[in-house]
Structure 1
């Protein structure tokens, strides 16, 4: 059974009379109350094409006029779908909720799925129910057979959704302090740009991840879109192109990828002599290690498990034998910071 219900009033016809809107909301909310859902969120937002108007104010007034709203009901209003969904996601995560029902007009479902794919992960499970907007009381019932989704989104619509999400995430403030990049005095910036990130300066709000999470996993609540925004902020601060960023695919072994050769399915080290490439390795209880050869102008990054440190070092050194032009190096330290033993999720 769903732990929370989201009622999407996005597509409600704004020319409905106020008493009709009241009837629609009352029946929908009474149905949610009757099924004893502990949390119900009413989503009020605008499309990408519709500007704010007095009709939205009428809708909000209708919602606030409902007398039977109890604890657990909340109206969330924002200027765009991405903003309202991300706000609700934070509320769900605070309560550790992952089973969610969304009640929305059928023609809105395809668009909603795209937003959910970008802002949520497989940790969450969604079920959908059609919102009937006809004022005839007999037409509020769910159809006996589920209808197919009516809308197929065009490429320009998909791009508009991605752009809306990106713009919203870029507008969010940094959490837990400013973005900090630690550097080693042993590596000269004349040849290599390098650094270790801390856990501050990003937009991730999941407590176990810090704010500057740079690792995306379907098993976590932090979606890929948030991780990409953290990476964008790092690229801007450190001075590298986001598209050149490559991180190890951790396997807790001693495999190393020599860039230019076939990329393995998993590896704990990267070595390169290519100019303009940004390579990275994560660290939590395992140690991130940088390798920089100023003579051969090659560099490497490794996620070093204690038992495999020697093997990784040997493999990285072998990979650097063909070095020539200077690369760019940025290494991330996502799990811990100096003096701390906190480990990521």
Structure 2
């Protein structure tokens, strides 16, 4: 069932725009005649001419709106100077109402263009269906017709122009929820390494559970890759790294490690390098982003350690990769555990809790319950120490900076961090990042 209708009048010529009342009325009439189109919400995209006033966008459409309101539907007209701006505004309206199935009615010649915009601004969460809209110029009417021949795909230079338009628009948007904030550990020497852990502030993601500096996009969430890329650009600008030399682990909740410069595995939760200026990153939204630094051999690494990765020893696997690839001494390696779900909040089924109990009974609280509380940070520290990392070279929630804590509980601080445990499936993601300075 269609949840929303999008009418694209953006490309209508100036003479049609001036008589848009009649055009819109005819379009709405045509929608009502099509039994296949039923949706409570309708959005109309129009071009706002440069120099025109934004206020009163809907006033000149009142006759058409009144006729449509009698059909118990909601209609909103969105005027903007670019298609990217108009479509992104409509995306916000769809997300506010949690709508995902959209019928797009547009001129045939706009279809390929619109599909490129949609591919960039939306994810697989949304379903789009297209209907052709024909403008009959002699009587200034719009007709909805059957699908026309799809024809050829859009030329690459046109796709590049659309990408540039989207990027420029996103760069123009204000940051949400305050300034971009980075947490840093005093354990990692700042003269050799650039590092930090992000919080949720200072980006442009607007969906409540993703707002605002979400740094991960997937087909199951509503934040598209272009928005995450813009958040990363802003982070890189504040932190001082090159976003084009940025490598994030490909999460598999296991213990594979990628060695920068060698064949990249399909999936891996650890990554290491000794190359200067290359930024490594690990995500976390309850799972631990773990950073590794060897100031002697000048090598670094990052790992994503959830409960499965912790049990599989992903942190020591990353340490071992640094030792074998770069000749690091395990006693020189510094390890910092970033914001992650704490033992105050995190529960696992009893069968999984047994594995942590085997590492150390202190890793489990209320062990005899159906869902005991688990301390994946303590388990990570124990496994690292058993592997030869010096206790004083590990920073976690048991060892904090005098001026700033690093290993916050993500679930306990909704103003600072994302949390899958707290927010559900449409959750945002923060990262830990590290690089060797030039």
TM-score normalised over the length of structure 1: 0.87
Any conservation in 2 of the 1:213–1:334 contact (CA below 8 Å)?
A: no
- Partner residue of 2:175? 174
Report SS of the residue matched to 1:164.
Answer: helix
- Deviations 1:129-181 (Å, cap 9, x if unpaired)? 111211567985544x5211356433222111111100110011111111000
Contact 1:83/1:168 (<8 A) preserved: yes
Secondary structure of the equivalent of 2:81?
A: coil
Distance 1:168 1:136 in 2: 36
Cα gap change, 1:62 to 1:226, in 2 (>3 Å) = same
Give aligned pairs, total.
333
When residues 13 and 88 of structure 1 are mapped into structure 2, their CA distance, relative to the original with a 3 A threshold, is same
1:223 is displaced (CA, Å) by: 0.3
Once the two structures are superposed, what CA deviation does each residue of 1:112-138 show, in whole Å capped at 9, x if it has no partner? 011000000111111111112115679
What is the distance in 2 between the residues matched to 1:286 and 1:37? 40
Residue 188 of structure 2 corresponds to which residue in structure 1? Answer: 187
User: Highest Rg: 1 or 2?
Assistant: 2
Structure 2 residue aligned with 1:209: 210
Within the candidate set 394, 397, 408, 1:338 is matched to 408
Shift of 1:259: 1.4
Q: Partner residue of 1:328? A: none
Displacement of 1:15 in angstroms is 2.3
Matched, 1:110 2:109: no
With over 3 angstroms needed to count, the CA separation of the structure-2 counterparts of 1:293 and 1:81, relative to structure 1, is same
Whether contact under 8 Å (2:30, 2:144) holds in the other structure is: no
- CA-to-aligned-CA distance 1:66-89 (integer Å, 9 cap, x gap): 241425111111111000000000
Whether 2:326 is the aligned partner of 1:323: answer yes
Distance change (3 Å), C-alpha of 1:152 and 1:286: closer
Between the aligned partners of 1:114 and 1:121, the Cα distance in structure 2 is 12
SS in 1 for 2:160: helix
Maintained 8 Å contact 1:245/1:280: yes
Superposition pairs of residues 217-232 of structure 1, within 5 angstroms = 217-232=218-233
Alignment RMSD, CA only? 2.9
95-104 vs 63-72, which deviates more? 63-72
Helix, strand or coil at the partner of 1:129: strand
The match for 1:295 is 296
Farther-moved stretch of structure 1 (30-39 vs 270-279)? 30-39
Shift of 1:6: 0.7
Long gaps (5+) in structure 2:
329-335, 342-406, 412-417, 421-426, 428-438
1 CA distance for matches of 2:101 and 2:2? 5
Separation in 2, partners of 1:79, 1:151: 27
Q: Which is strand-richer, 1 or 2?
A: 2
CA distance in 2, matches of 1:59, 1:233: 32
Aligned to 1:30: 29
DSSP 3-state at the match of 2:194: coil
| Correspondence for 2:313 among 311, 314, 334 | 311
Find the counterpart in structure 2 of residue 3 from structure 1. 3
